Amino acid sequence: MSAVATSVLSRRGFLRSETLVPVVLILVVGVLVIAPLVKIVLSTLTVEGLDAWQAVLASKMSENLWWRPLWNTVLLGIGVAAGCVLMGGFLAWLVVLTDVPAPKTLGLLATLPFMIPSFAAALAWGALFRNSRLGGSVGFFEANGYIVPDWLAWGLLPTLIVLIAHYYSLAFTVISAALSSVGADLVEAAQVAGAKRSRIFFGIILPVVTPALVAAASLTFAGAVSNFAAPALLGLPVRMQTLSTRLFGMIETGQTERGFVIALLLIIVSASFLWLGERLVAGRKSYVTVTGKGGRTKRFPLGKWRWPLFCVAVLMCALTTFLPAVILTASSFALQNGSLFSNWTTHFWIGEGGTDMAQGQAGIFRNPVLIEALWMTLKLAVTVAFTTMALGLALAHTIARNKGSVLATVLGQVSFTPILIPSIAFAAAYIALFGAPIGPLPSLYGTFLLLVLAASAHLLPYAVQSGRSVLGQISADIEESARLTGAGFFRRMGAIIMPLAIRGLLAGALLVFVKIVRDLSLVVLLFTSTSPVLSMLAYRYAAEGFMQFANAITMVILVLCVVATLLAHRLQNRVQKWKSA
């Protein structure tokens, strides 16, 4: 009997690999997420670090280093959160709960602004409203004889508008998912009970989506306070500092410890607002399904408001997506912003160097630095897309299979930690850890590997979330029935899991690709001339006043992002043959 037993019963090795995988994953997320954070905290506890704490928080400089940036940051955060919830909420209501024309197209349009870089809108704003305060070429309005006041050209207001134009589509995504989960029967039950429309809205729909509204507010707040591009392009020239531009400035000028201190403070500000949002809705049952798999939803007739509201929605989307794109395109062809649509030249795109145009610089497609940056960006985005999706899938799978264990809880919490950390502060933590050699390992600063590591860690929460939603579509039964046939792990993955998951994975990977291509705040600190990326190049050109080059490069990024987004959208929504019934 025992001889048979040992020959048949051979799964001890598998048991060991089942415990091995989680341990390896713990190590990976530990190095990616926890180690940089621990290191940046430790770096501020040295003698220089403690001096930096004092300089930032309790010295004559703290007004400039901490309080004013904090005030600007919080003001921007609150303003952006409020504006985004209003705008995104309005569009979500229109698209999900009313009989507005072409809801699907509107829904797609409303998600686009988040897919293009936030500095696209900032640059477009400059092309229109830039005034003569700083010298150099002025924007369209001032060149045509209008006086543009400083408050409209620079500082808080333009930054606020540009950030709302970028982040409202994040709010839209979150709120519309929640609204789609408000089933028609819920609304109809209220109607049968005799409730009027306003009563239904305030009594049923609003309470159900409140957690989503709070979530949208805290996410957009966190996005706004960690954004670097918009305040840097529109605020820095007039010395409006936010915590993220301060952090950048400190590290750029070699005051590393002060930079680290500001990074930690920025993390605290952002995380405490996210935590506050969480507290506000804690204890309530969460009704939000982020995948938005609602059943039938009830659409209210808009009556005579149907077309006017449709026009308002289209205008919102056009102003935030198409107008910036058109202005940037025109500006990249125009000799000066005053005449955006005449005297076009292709010089800034493909012109030869050594002429008297653009101080002798060649067009971007003749510039070897740009070509290198383009390839570097694509390489980075593709690498990160694959590493994060693989890691996300492995993490989601491990967390789901070990559900309830301490291991799964730890893994889940660690992999969602980066959501609390503004990307620019995260980059600072990476500099703290990898900026100097660790034992025998060389410094990673300025290497491609560092960019990959930081970006993968930053996108980990997103990757785990998409891994979860992909796995959620494949029931455990399906895999088990394959296991019963005797198919091994790799065979099951290859023949059953992958064919069912591949579209979801590719769509997730494409969105990671977009997030990397359009990112500035993560790479702005990690960038060096040996690892140039497009967004950083655009920022450099803009900072040096070569707006046409900056705009042209931004258009390249924008096109890459939009194409990838539409592709992902198509992949997610295309009907699969076996689902046609």
Residue 407 makes contact with other proteins by CB under 8 A: no
Residue 293, φ and ψ in degrees, nearest 5: -90, 65
DSSP type of residue 496: I
Helix axis angle for 206-226 and 68-97, nearest 10°, is 140
- Distance, CA of 318 to CA of 124 (rounded, Å): 13
Question: Is residue 10 a contact point for other proteins (CB under 8 A)?
Answer: yes
Q: How many CA atoms lie within 13 A of 157 on its CB side?
A: 7
The binder of other proteins chosen from 1, 147, 406, 441 (CB under 8 A) = 1
Site string for other proteins, 460-499 (x = CB under 8 A): ---------------x-xx-xxxxxxxx---x---xx--x
- Total residues interacting with other proteins, rule: CB under 8 A: 32
Nearer to other proteins, 198 or 576 (CB): 576
Kindly write out the interface string for residues 548-577 of this chain, putting x where it contacts other proteins by CB under 8 A and - elsewhere: ----------------------------xx
Nearer to other proteins, 284 or 403 (CB): 403
Rounded distance between C-alpha atoms, residue 308 and residue 390, angstroms: 46
Q: By CB under 8 A, which span of 4-12, 29-37, 342-350, 505-513 interacts with other proteins?
A: 4-12
| Residue 293 binding other proteins, by CB under 8 A | no
If the CB atoms of residues 5 and 441 are measured against other proteins, the closer one turns out to be 5
For residue 14, the minimal CB distance to other proteins (Å) is 8
Residue 335: strand, helix, or coil: coil
CA distance 489 to 482: 10
Rounded Cα gap, residues 80 and 220, in angstroms: 7
The nearer residue to other proteins, 15 or 47, going by C-beta atoms, is: 15
According to DSSP, residue 286 is labeled: P
Identify the residue among 15, 147, 192, 406 touching other proteins (CB under 8 A): 15
Tell the smallest beta-carbon distance from residue 25 to other proteins (Å).
23
Place of tokens 């706004």: 224
CB 257 within 8 A of CB 42: no
C-beta of 4 vs 192, nearer to other proteins? 4
Token readout for 38 is 């621990």
Distance CA 106, CA 555 (A): 23
Decide whether 5 or 147 has the Cβ nearer to other proteins. 5
Q: Are 206 and 224 in contact (CB under 8 A)?
A: no
- Tell me: does residue 16 bind other proteins (CB under 8 A): no
* CA nearest to 104, candidates 299, 323, 241: 299
Closer by beta carbon to other proteins, 16 or else 104:
16
Q: Is 147 in the site for other proteins (CB under 8 A)?
A: no
**Residues at the interface with other proteins (CB under 8 A):** 1, 3-5, 8-12, 15, 475, 477-478, 480-487, 491, 495-496, 499-500, 576-581
